[in-house]
Chains A and B, each alone.
Chain A
Amino acid sequence: MSSVQLVVIGAGPGGYAAAFLAADLGMEVAIVEKENNPGGVCLYRGCIPSKALLHVAKIMSEAKHAAHFGIEYAAPKIDINKLREWKQSVVSKLTGGLGQLAKARKIRYIQGEASFINSTTLSIKKTDGTTEELTFGKAILATGSRPSSIPTLPQSKHIWNSTAALDMEIIPETMLVIGGGYIGMELGTAYHELGTKISIVEMLDGLLPGADRDLAAVLNKRAQGMFHKIMLETKVVKTVETANGILVTFAGKDGKEFSEEYNKVLVSIGRRPNSENIGIENTKVKVTSRGFVEVDAQRRTADENIYAIGDIAGDPMLAHKASHEGRVAVESIAGKRVAWEPQAIPAVVFTDPEIAWCGITEAEAVKAGKTVQVVKFPWGASGRALTLDRQDGLTKMIIDPETQRILGVGIVGVGAGEMISEGVLAIEMGCVANDLKLSIHPHPTLSETMMETAESFFGHSTHIYKPKK
């Protein structure tokens, strides 16, 4: 039996960030992970490969769009094998790099699957076929999440989840995306540009639930032109495997049923935490009915030796939230007085246009009955947006009218994901509208819309004229 001071179970962006910091602080650290290198869903089957594909999609979309300016390209030839290889090389480069970093930090990397025997011991089924018992001082649980599935769907190679879609076995002619959340929208966008006719079905009355409606509306307008069909308030009632794919029967809002056949069906209805089959019942760790591990402000579970971070520790299931939590957990273990208390966790949807927001949303403010003032700057008034021929954008801020503090920022438009960090910084620093208004932003950039939104809080944005009431 071997022992270690800290063991991190799962080496996604939460786990490896935690392990690396712990090693940097002088702890003796082990990682237990199924893959041969750190990275987790984010690097292997999530953020990174999807962004590689979306980059390709963007280039193709822009090349097509260039016809508007009198620049015409011939239709693209797609070599899917080469594309897949390139995407894979990005993943390998990143995960391999992380493996190197773990080695350089003298972290013991155990490839396998861990299960708790008790609050201080793990049993590890190693990939090499052997089993090891490992005692630990502290453990950080970072086993992440996996795509939720619909149990009523048939077992079929035509039914994909996000992992299968990113594997890119083929580029289907037609594909149905079940679920209008960010994963479905991103993968739908990528496959659309690669030539697939995309249909989207969503039970709720709008795409991207969680984002403010005015932001989603901008994306929706473009998506209407892009996708074959967007079916809102519609349910999938039946799926039958056919020779060429899946025959899907829907029920609309009015209850009327209709059917359509698709080569592939992509299920993207959310993700669920990986809290089963890891021996949690042998510890004092508590799990909620939804499968999340309960944690305190230090990310400590009900078992004092065990911490939990990332997707398994609760929503939002985002890589950057996980890695930040990992650092909190490790610093807490190192005896530092830290707490998990972000005031703004940015969310980015890498569609075209992108949607990003942080802090409180307008919808949340309304729901909480909070008095806020919402100010918006439409990108039609941004010079930079015009030079990009992308006026389909909006920057908005949710401001406390009393203190003038910025409570939330929402952006839709190209590059919104890169812009949102300014909003995060503003909220974390307790900025008031004047701070953003008085900070000089470079011209001509899209970031100016942040400054002008703050200006319009005072009723005098340079590039928007509002007659006095």
Chain B
Amino acid sequence: MELKLPNLGENITQGTVTKVLVAAGESIKKGQNILELETDKAVLEVPSPQEGVIGKVLIKAGDIVKVGAPVFELSGGNASPSATPVAAPKAEAAKSAPAPVVAAQSAAAPVAALVATPSAPVRANVPAAPSVRLFAREIGIDIGVVPGTGAGGRISINDVKAYAKSLNTSRAASSGIAPVPLPDFTKWGQVRREPMNNVRRKTAEHLSHAWNSIPHVTQFEKTDITELEKLRKRFTSDKRKLSITPFILKVVAAALKQFPQFNSAVDMTTNEIVYKSYINIGVAVDTDRGLIVPVLKNVDQKSIMQISDELTQIASRARDRKTTMEEMTGGCFTISNLGGIGGTFFTPIVNSPEVAILGVSRGVMEPLYMENQFVPRLMLPLSLSYDHRIIDGANGARFIRWVAEAISQPFLMDLEK
């Protein structure tokens, strides 16, 4: 029997598998989450429409699956609940692992504990020699996900090694150090445990990865927005509330053209720098589910008013959980504006694989010494974090200076073109 992707409502017709939560041989309960699916609306967990034992996993992470398409082969669908023990099958397997081979003789022969049970590969008929498949299984890699470089996609031992290496690299980068077990907090009082929602978990994973893989430097600067503020107020109406962010977006778009290494990505597997010839800028939006970063496309080709309207729209879509995957990908640089809340400087984390992020805080009136006297000016604190692997300190300083000057004197942008 095949278990098909159930109807998920909300007009969802398909999604990308981000995680397979069950394995072949596992008993599942009705309602138990079996898949994590990224739809164009959100990442959601898919509950099983029926109970049974997973025979074969027909999909893998990265696959796009349509509603109604088979995702697992299921056996024993009608088995009574008592016949299929379903409680935490993984834990159970681990418990029973040290194979109870008649105790008295256990020393006599090399009957090792069955720790993990390798299943047949996710993808059937993988083009790899039996010896290669064996090697992959021994080092704990599913041959079905290894990209093959040979004729017809044939997978060699070297392909498996390269894949394992890339996994190790990304694992090392994403977690850095093994998680330290938490102390028992209940010793000091009551606690409450809540599962992380998907946005939170993804944020945690993504930022850990960025923090661990990118050597960060944060450069601070203040820029005089007294004139800009006047302009902003002049163009703000009841119909259109203009914030400072569209101006900063426009300036940063120009800066990215001026400093192409800020509009790049680092490819450490090939030792290359990828320069992008388009300018898409992400804007961090605070929602009740957590941080979401929709991306404004081709910012350099849009007017400030256009940017403002688009920004209002995507921010409200993000808060209404309507942001599509398309709208959240493809960014070159990110701006995080915390000015609405307050504070001065902070150290934003680069939104990997981007290489820089600009943090904007709240503008404050400060005395500025100009033309032999102190004058009150509205000063905006800026915090630029960048990837020190490809951006040197001097260039970081040049970039933030250029941005600061362009914000205070926008004509400079055109003078330099």
Contact = CB atoms under 8 A, between A and B. Distances in A.
Are A and B subunits of one complex? yes
Interface in B105-162: 105, 108-121, 125-130, 133-134, 137-138, 140, 148, 150-155
How many chain A residues sit at the interface, stated as a range, is 35 or more
Nearest to B134: A338
A203 B129 CA distance: 40
A333 B97 CA distance: 11
Given A138-B99, A405-B127, A432-B154, A337 B111 contact: no
Interface stretch (A20-28, A141-149, A213-221, A245-253): A20-28
Contacts of B115: 335
Contact of A27 (B96, B111, B137): B111
Nearest to B127: A430
A28 B118 contact: no
B153 A338 contact: no
Nearest to B114: A335
Nearest to B136: A337
Interface residues of B, number: 43
A329 to B, nearest CB: 12
A35 interface: no
A5 B150 contact: no
Interface in A1-43: 3-5, 25-28
B47 interface: no
A427 B147 CA distance: 18
Given A26-B110, A297-B25, A405-B127, A339 B152 contact: no
B104 interface: yes
A435 interface: yes
Interface string A381-409: 00000000000000000001001110100
A429 B129 contact: yes
A339 B137 contact: yes
A56 B154 CA distance: 44
Interface centre among A339, A404, A432 (most CB of B within 10 A): A339
B299 interface: no
Contacts of A286: 76
A388 to B, nearest CB: 33
B251 interface: no
Interface string A105-130: 00000000000000000000000000
A5 B111 contact: yes
B101 interface: yes
Contacts of B75: 294
B9 interface: no
Nearest to A433: B152
A174 interface: no
B112 A334 contact: yes
15 contacts: A3-B104, A5-B102, A5-B111, A26-B108, A26-B110, A27-B109, A138-B99, A335-B113, A336-B112, A337-B116, A400-B152, A405-B127, A405-B152, A428-B129, A432-B154
Given A137-B105, A296-B119, A432-B151, 7 more contacts: A5-B101, A137-B99, A305-B100, A338-B134, A403-B153, A430-B127, A430-B152
Interface of A: 3-5, 25-28, 135-138, 286, 294, 296-298, 300, 304-305, 332-341, 343, 400, 403-405, 407, 428-430, 432, 434-435
